[in-house]
Structure 1
């Protein structure tokens, strides 16, 4: 078993689609990716994905394998970073994490803040689920992260943005003809909900449904927005996602705003209060001075 097998597996698991993983994450051909996944399943000895006309989903064995695969990749990356630090001990390094998809908007802003002051700084970037980013902050693996407000000791959060939730649905869905959608019209539709991983978003959606007086039981549970968009297309379901996910829609999926009072979710800048790095202090100060971050 090689690290590339683990990278391929994690990419497919997170994207919820062989096609999306091949094209967007791995830049390889789908048949080649399929072979690599089959080789991995053969070596593990059990199916990691179930395949059907509706798409691909992780088996219970696949879900158990996922956490260990991520950990192995993280440890391998940590080994690489340790070697690089040993080779260049005097070069300033700043590690940033981004909730997957958020790096498109926030990495240029964060990079500019640092490089205006320290042009030779090395910036290291990871893209991951919010709970994992919070864990990495807690363990000191990251200096800052753009994520949701997770409950971790010594991790402090500042609000950097508040995004409305929008409805994602197939482009030819009956509700797509409307300029805005009444949440009551979602009752009875195939609904794609959130798993325990994006639990902050799950809780925002749950509170919103309670507030407008509707009850919807999810047909599918997903871990990230890419999986949600893939399932919207393949199952003809609907879901609620933060508006930033509109940047990643395929032609077969569209978004529509909600009618009435619209729910929103906060994007946070998180950091460990025990981190005494001058670079962290500089970064937080520059963010405050630019009015980019507002203390929560």
Structure 2
């Protein structure tokens, strides 16, 4: 797989048209672009696009791949900039981690805050599960992480960014999709897709506590190791899962979300850092947390 495949794929996905992407974004011939997309689908072993009433549309696999392709291109740009800076006099370094999927909302805001520091700082980006981010902070491999409050990890401090409600997500044709909200008792008897206690312990604990409060004895029919796998299992099995608000950025049109009636389970998004890290740049970013929140969330107040 080459970078051009990712660039071509993202252009087609964002334009919703092979011809528009070829002419306006990529300045290439449409037949050539079609071959590149076909080659990418062959290499991945999945279909990324289908033709719909409004033009070319992403499949569930394509929707999941799009988010990762965007992040990969962002990371390549960051790597290229780091390489250029490495040829210059020695500079400071700063590493930022993201719970996979949050880059879309928060990375632009952080980079805007750091823009004035970029000429003298090498910025690196990592995308991982929250427990891995906590371990990297502890080992000094990361300076800052957008993550869950992994409070079992000693030596870490957290600044709250927002409380994310957990939503019920299901196929568009699921019987519960006809409701404006899902009652806790509606989850009984459903084919439930759970989340991993190892890869997402904070989310799993919030869901388990919610089930306990409502007296729900629910055993998962399937277990997802990550968000992409959860989305894929919802689409392929017709099951229902409980996922945080940010998952709306990643679900295809064939999957819908419904709020949980009453007091829904919540999970926190925080900025985590090692309390022993004395980096001046870390202190600078921590002092601008309110500005980062405003840029990422606007006036939504979430």
Distance 2:155 2:39 in 1: 40
Distance 2:288 2:160 in 1: 15
Q: CA RMSD in A?
A: 2.9
Task: Give the CA deviation at 1:123.
Answer: 2.1
Q: Which residue is equivalent to 1:161?
A: 162
Residue 183 of structure 1 pairs with residue 194 of structure 2: no
Alpha-carbon spacing, 1:125–1:28, altered in 2? closer, same or farther (3 Å): farther
Q: Which residue is equivalent to 2:117?
A: 118
Q: Encode CA deviations 1:149-191: one digit per residue, 9 max, x unaligned.
A: 1122221111111110100001001110111111111111110
**Structure-to-structure mapping, 1:200-239, within 5 angstroms:** 200-239=202-241
1:208 aligns to what SS in structure 2? helix
**C-alpha contact 2:148 2:270 (8 A) present in aligned 1:** yes
Distance 2:124 2:106 in 1: 14
Distance 1:213 1:232 in 2: 24
Distance 1:291 1:87 in 2: 34
Distance 1:27 1:134 in 2: 39
Q: Which residue is equivalent to 1:271?
A: 273
Alpha-carbon spacing, 1:208–1:231, altered in 2? closer, same or farther (3 Å): same
Q: Which residue is equivalent to 1:243?
A: 245
Alpha-carbon spacing, 1:181–1:291, altered in 2? closer, same or farther (3 Å): closer
Q: Which residue is equivalent to 1:284?
A: 286
Alpha-carbon spacing, 1:244–1:289, altered in 2? closer, same or farther (3 Å): closer
Distance 1:162 1:122 in 2: 31
Q: Once superposed, which parts of structure 1, at least 4 consecutive aligned residues long, lie more than 3 Å away?
A: 80-89, 288-293
**C-alpha contact 1:111 1:123 (8 A) present in aligned 2:** no
Distance 1:109 1:220 in 2: 36
TM-score (norm 1): 0.69
Q: Encode CA deviations 1:53-110: one digit per residue, 9 max, x unaligned.
A: xx9xxxxxxxxxxxxxxxxxxxxxxxx9999886555223221000011011111111
Out of 257, 261, 264, the residue aligned to residue 262 of structure 1 is 264
Q: Which residue is equivalent to 1:63?
A: none
Q: Which residue is equivalent to 1:41?
A: none
Q: Which residue is equivalent to 1:172?
A: 173
Task: Give the CA deviation at 1:243.
Answer: 0.9
**C-alpha contact 2:101 2:247 (8 A) present in aligned 1:** yes
Aligned length: 226
1:106 aligns to what SS in structure 2? helix
